[in-house]
Amino acid sequence: MSEFERLKLLSSQMHLEPTEGDECPQMADRKQDAIYTSQAALPNGQRIKLLKTLLTSACERDCLYCPFRAGRDFRRASFEPEEFAKVFMYMYKAGMVEGIFLSSGVVKGGVTTQDQLLATAEILRRKHQYQGYLHLKVMPGAERAQVEQAMLLADRLSVNLEAPNSQRLSLLAPHKDFAHELLEPLRWADQIRREQSPHKAWKGRWPSTVTQFVVGGADESDLELLATTEQLHRQMGLTRAYFSRFNPIVNTPLEDHPPTPLERQNRLYQASFLIRDYGFTLEEMPFANEGNLPLEVDPKLAWAQQALQGAPVEINTAPRELLLRVPGIGPKGAEAILRSRRQHKLLDLSQLSRLGIAARKASPYILLNGAQPARQLPLFQDKR
Ligand code: SF4
């Protein structure tokens, strides 16, 4: 197989790995070759064409849900670090891609595989002077020194927990050690960030860390997933968790396990952002008996229907943290309200709408200068 054929094969197999808020895969360059890239949003909000790929799709592990598991019959491909870096730099210089997320199947153990990823990153950064975005995967079983080296080279690191605890992980990947192989590298990354100066790190700052969960594959509850996510944010400086709904893959032991609805994945993202960015606590999430969020209503609206129905929020005086609890008002909307009300009172929904707020959604839960605004709705067009 040519280098481009291998890269096409490897990148096409990466759609299961959500990163950087990416969208559907696209072809990087239809004229020259069909290598898959994603439009991805970087932590700074910039959107780039991201190449998501593996160094090798061979793997000696046997995670029950994974298309790359050992012994599964499908076409695999591999790169050596030097040849991969060369192909990537060709694409980068040709403007076909603007950044990279590099992962790998496990071959000869996590330590050896991590060395291959690190060698590729070193070649890109030192030999080719690659300045662009680099997201590196930390392999299960990587050593602390390898995590530290990765932190010197990458913009972002990911350690995929896959499940919220060791018991659930045993139903997805019975040979992975949750505490030692997965949680420990996240802990090391946090320690390194806290204890060491980032002056030798790439661009003089430490990379962020993220993780991914396979939602529904181990019959875990939303409460388990969000409790672990909340702990990781609080105790290990995790930037964000990705929730990837389980989809059965043929010829894997979980091929008959039902797929997880997309709506569940979306509700988990909404709840995790409410806890991370909006000041909500885990206990305030509207879990039903089995510890799952309702699918039919977003968690903020469900909370407001209970908590704000008889206690609407006065938009002209409420502090930021209370504004953020109103459905339809996000961090940018709350800032806009605070700025605007320093100039003048906010008296009707059209003013809120002009500030970028979903006024129709907010209206049952707010007061504008002491008055309930719901009756103003027909007076203006707010389709949000
Ligand atoms: S180690 Fe990674 S690539 Fe290998 S089978 Fe498990 S999830 Fe798949």
The vertex-304 CA angle with 299 and 308, nearest 5°, equals 165
Q: Is the CB of 355 under 6 A from ligand 1?
A: no
Please give the number of the atom of ligand 1 that sits closest to the Cα of 62. Answer: 5
Q: Given this model, what pLDDT does residue 209 score?
A: 97
Specify the pTM: 0.90
Give the whole-angstrom CA distance, residue 123 versus residue 127. 5
Q: Given this model, what pLDDT does residue 17 score?
A: 62
For the chain, residues with pLDDT lower than 70 are 15-34, 374-384
Please give the number of the atom of ligand 1 that sits closest to the Cα of 105. Answer: 3
Average confidence score pLDDT of the chain: 91
pLDDT digits (tens, 9 = 90+) for 246-272: 999 999 999 999 999 999 999 999 999
Q: Given this model, what pLDDT does residue 352 score?
A: 96
Query: Strand pairing of 156-158 and 133-137?
Result: parallel
Q: What is the 3-state secondary structure (H, E, C) of the chain?
A: CCHHHHHHHHHHCCCCCCCCCCCCCEEEECCCEEEEEEEEECCCCCEEEEEEEECECCCCCCCCCCCCCCCCCCCCCECCHHHHHHHHHHHHHCCCCCEEEEECCCCCHHHHHHHHHHHHHHHHHHHCCCCCEEEEECCCCCCHHHHHHHHHHCCEEECCCECCCHHHHHHHCCCCCHHHHHHHHHHHHHHHHHHCCHHHCHHHCCCEEEEEEEECCCCCCHHHHHHHHHHHHHHHCCCEEEEEECCCCCCCCCCCCCCCCHHHHHHHHHHHHHHHHCCCCHHHCCCCCCCCCCCCCCHHHHHHHHHCCCCCEECCCCCHHHHCCCCCCCHHHHHHHHHHHHHCCCCCHHHHHHCCCCHHHHHHHEEECCECCHHHHHHCCCCC
Give the whole-angstrom CA distance, residue 196 versus residue 183. 20
Ligand 1: residue of 54, 59, 175 to mutate (most ligand atoms within 8 A of CB) is: 59
Q: State the distance from the centre of ligand 1 to the C-alpha of 67, rounded, in angstroms.
A: 8
Q: Is the CB of 63 under 6 A from ligand 1?
A: yes
Q: Given this model, what pLDDT does residue 74 score?
A: 87
- Could you give the angle at which helices 299-307 and 262-277 cross, rounded to 10 degrees? 60
Core vs surface per residue 370-382: b (16+ CB within 10 A) or e: eeebeebeeeeeb
Q: How many CB atoms lie within 10 A of CB 1?
A: 11
Residue nearest to atom 5 of ligand 1 (CA): 69
Q: State the distance from the centre of ligand 1 to the C-alpha of 266, rounded, in angstroms.
A: 24
32 within 8 A of 19, measured Cβ to Cβ: no
Cross-strand partners of 135: 101, 156
Q: Given this model, what pLDDT does residue 25 score?
A: 47
Q: Given this model, what pLDDT does residue 1 score?
A: 80
Q: Given this model, what pLDDT does residue 44 score?
A: 76
Q: Is the CB of 59 under 6 A from ligand 1?
A: yes
Q: Is the CB of 136 under 6 A from ligand 1?
A: no
pLDDT digits (tens, 9 = 90+) for 192-240: 999 999 998 988 999 999 999 999 999 999 999 999 999 999 999 999 9
Q: Given this model, what pLDDT does residue 16 score?
A: 59
Class of domain 3-284: alpha beta
Q: Given this model, what pLDDT does residue 41 score?
A: 81
Domain borders along the chain are 3-284, 308-379
Q: Given this model, what pLDDT does residue 15 score?
A: 62
169 within 8 A of 161, measured Cβ to Cβ: yes
Q: Is the CB of 77 under 6 A from ligand 1?
A: no
Q: Given this model, what pLDDT does residue 158 score?
A: 96
Q: Given this model, what pLDDT does residue 147 score?
A: 98
Give the whole-angstrom CA distance, residue 342 versus residue 321. 17
